[in-house]
Amino acid sequence: MNENISDIDYKQVIEYALEPLIVHSQLKIIYVNRAAEIFFRSPKEKIIGASPLDIFKESSKLAIDKRIQSAYEKPAEVIEETIYRMDGTTIDVELYCHPVLLGSTKAIQTYVRDITERKAAEKKQREMSDQINELSSTLIPLLDGIAVLPLLGAFDEERAKQLLERVPANVQKQSIKCLVIDFSAIYNLDSLVAEYIFKIDTVLSLLGVRSIVTGLRPELALVATQLGINFNSTPTVSTVKAALHLLGIEYNRDSSIQTKNKKK
């Protein structure tokens, strides 16, 4: 066989591509493939001849026009947009375009990828993250004026920032005078994240709230030391039960009875 790549029928290649493809020149659509017909819910005869700007919202058209003009010289970056189908419905897509030469005509080939499912998954993930962050800043009341903040799971910088913002507000809202900050359920902590979390103790101190740190494992204590954080004014004990004991509270776990024994 002596087939040459130049013998490949370009139109046939893109006609049967699975992703919607649009070819346009001078803001006029000159070709769409079968996948584009299905995607835009219209026969290609009604699409060809239209402006590629017609599928975009008014607020996006100026930027898209500039993007198209620059794409005659070099491929444009991948972007995300909300566009219109021919029946007026909107859909979230990823767009990529690059220059092509059709004979002597300069044109743009645009790839349209439906990202509806991905966006829905991202939204669900954000909602789950928001719920986790909300739970992470939830104070569990023990006795009047005393609560526990259980730090749970993995923390990134964003989650740590939200914690620093929410906890002081929740402390004031619940009239907490002493907060037990329990680190025992944290399983990853880098220095940047740790700095945010350990700042909670400083902020609470400025608010007149006493802090007790519990569950600080050796590796977390090492991170604190490397950051120059000391707990000279903040008691550190191994467990929440030990923190309660430090406060003069004895907790009978079997009968769920708390008795306060004030130390002289």
Q: Can you tell me whether residue 19 is helix, strand or coil?
A: coil
> Which pLDDT score is estimated for 230?
67
* Ordered per-residue pLDDT tens for the chain, 264 residues: 455 555 567 778 888 888 999 999 999 999 999 999 999 999 999 999 999 999 999 999 999 999 999 999 999 999 999 999 999 999 999 999 999 988 888 999 999 999 999 998 888 877 766 665 665 568 888 888 999 998 877 777 877 888 888 889 889 999 999 999 998 887 666 777 777 877 888 899 899 999 998 988 887 778 777 777 766 678 888 888 888 888 888 665 554 545 554 443
Angle between helices 191-206 and 218-226 (to 10 degrees): 80
Q: Would you state the pLDDT for residue 255?
A: 44
Residue 67 has a pLDDT of 94
DSSP output for 226-260: HTT---TTS-EESSHHHHHHHTTEEEETTTTEEEE
Q: What is the pLDDT of residues 194-223, one digit of tens each?
A: 778 778 888 998 999 999 989 888 877 787
- State the CB neighbour count (10 A cutoff) for residue 193: 21
Which pLDDT score, from 0 to 100, does residue 263 have? Answer: 42
CATH numbers and ranges of domains, the chain: 5-114 (3.30.450.20), 120-260 (3.30.750.24)
| DSSP annotation string for 24-80 | EETTEEEEE-HHHHHHHTS-HHHHTTS-GGGGB-HHHHHHHHHHHHHHTTSPPPPEE
pLDDT digits (tens, 9 = 90+) for 52-74: 999 999 999 999 999 999 999 99
Question: Residue 225 has what pLDDT?
Answer: 78
